[in-house]
Amino acid sequence: MTKPKVLISDKMDPNAAAIFRERGCEVDEITGLTPEELIKIIGDYDGLAIRSSTKVTKEILEHCTNLKVIGRAGIGVDNVDIPAASAKGVVVMNTPFGNSITTAEHAIALMFALARQIPDANAKTQAGLWPKNGFMGVEVTGKTLGLIGAGNIGSIVASRALGLRMKVIAFDPFLTPERAVEMGVEKADLDAVLARADFITLHTPLTDQTRNILSRENLAKTKKGVRIINCARGGLVDEVALKEALESGQVAGAALDVFAVEPAKESPLFGTPNFICTPHLGASTTEAQVNVALQVAEQMADYLVNGGVTNALNMPSLSAEEAPKLKPYMALAEKLGSLVGQLAHDNLTKISIEVEGAAAQLNVKPITGAVLAGLMRRYSDTVNMVNAPFLAKERGLDVREVRHDREGVYHTLVRVTVGTSQGDRSVAGTLFNNTAPRLVDMFGINIEADLDGHMLYIVNEDAPGFIGSLGTLLGKNGLNIGTFHLGRRSAGGEAVLLLSMDDAIPEAVLAEASKLPGVKTVKALSF
């Protein structure tokens, strides 16, 4: 078996390469590549490990003929075109927890620097001025810290602030009351945080909803004399408005580690009194850089070798422990998706993936991804679980997941229902011995069949002699039947035939079969 091949294109801890090799991957460390140089060699690799220097653009992705995964050693993926990677079927991972403590500690450090005006005091002291009476700081003890974002890093900042005897209030739409109690913080809306906080720290990604969350309007709502710290993402704060608020005294101090445009060679904030900054150092500790390098290597190797998906930004996560259990379900789901995709006669409007029994106890997202991958192969021959949801969304397909607690006839069941102009069409399957995918229901007709290889699908009126006529036709054309599966709604009613064939069925034979008495539909299938 050929080993997966990985390129490390940015400088990383050397132990990252060692982990790739230990896990069964070949690895090349080639840093400092220009985009043109990367384009020339990227087609040879299954994985690309980066930090912030390598820019993975749409143009570069167009040359990634074998690439399966991009791993970013760090949390920010601004340097990766994720939509283009998704369309190409490439998993994009980051390491959101490797530098969490480091970034949280940097926010606390900047809070102290603001509270005691340390940078300015240091500069004037070293200039020989000894300005002992020129600085009057504030204590953090007893003050209120307002968090905007209470996820991983925000929660660490909260725990450190509570240790400093601060009161912590937090705004985060995803923060549950139970989690707030667990963290020891008060959940509040944004206006309350702005109005009450003595210090505000930001810990949220940059999205359309969070861009300029500290706008001119919101800065005006803050408690007069507030101090603001941003170690999250540039663009969360309106830098021009912040300068005005500093100059007016509405904001007593501000510390930024990130800017809207980086490298920040110039900024309206530079030179503003009571403003301090650092050049995006939130993750810059020895420990953090080692952690993220090791984590990205472990995650990428796990995916390339075992199929485990951790911290992926464009597909459901799937642990190495889950992967073996889900693998047969994903095989079943892909076959069911492929079946409805091949039988659909028009553009689909919706798809529903239902699970019951043992399947309902599993992570449904990978099952859904596999169904969509099978379905979307009718549109593209390069589709996989990564780009299938992207293609489905692009075509306006409404995707729904339903988990049933009920017990059915089968110990486990996956049902796929699609909406067509003729109404809903549904197929269902189970696993025999928990490993072998088996079709058990097709458009409301009970029929058990293995979906594999070349198959012939026929809908006909149930009548004596039809099977003999079909067998004669296939035999006359030298086509051998592997397995034979029959189902019907009622005696003399509509019947369904699924035949596995040793070879592909020529169009001429399909045309002849369609002319047999009672035949309604004839279609060749391939799995």
CB of 50 closer than 8 Å to CB of 76: no
The encoded tokens of residue 359 equal: 């399947």
Q: At what angle do helices 286-301 and 100-116 cross, to 10 degrees?
A: 150
Cis peptide before 263 (omega within 30 of 0): yes
The encoded tokens of residue 305 equal: 């070798």
Of 458, 461, 462, 474, nearest in space to 522 by CA:
458
- Name the residue type at position 460: N
The separation between CA 329 and the C-alpha centre of its own chain, rounded to angstroms, equals 20
Q: Is 178 a catalytic residue?
A: no
What CA–CA distance (Å, rounded) separates 355 from 178? 29
Phi, psi of 66 (to 5 degrees): -115, -5
Q: Is 217 a catalytic residue?
A: no
- H-run or E-run covering 506: none
What CA–CA distance (Å, rounded) separates 151 from 180? 11
Of 72, 106, 280, 425, catalytic: 280
Q: Is 280 a catalytic residue?
A: yes
Give the DSSP letter string of 213-281: SB-HHHHHTSPTTEEEEE-S-TTSB-HHHHHHHHHHTSEEEEEES--SSSS-S--TTTT-TTEEE-SS-
What CA–CA distance (Å, rounded) separates 114 from 277? 10
Of 203, 233, 415, 425, catalytic: 233
Based on C-alpha coordinates, what's the Rg of the chain? 30
Of 262, 321, 394, 407, catalytic: 262
Phi, psi of 267 (to 5 degrees): -160, 145
Which residues have a catalytic role annotated? 233, 262, 280
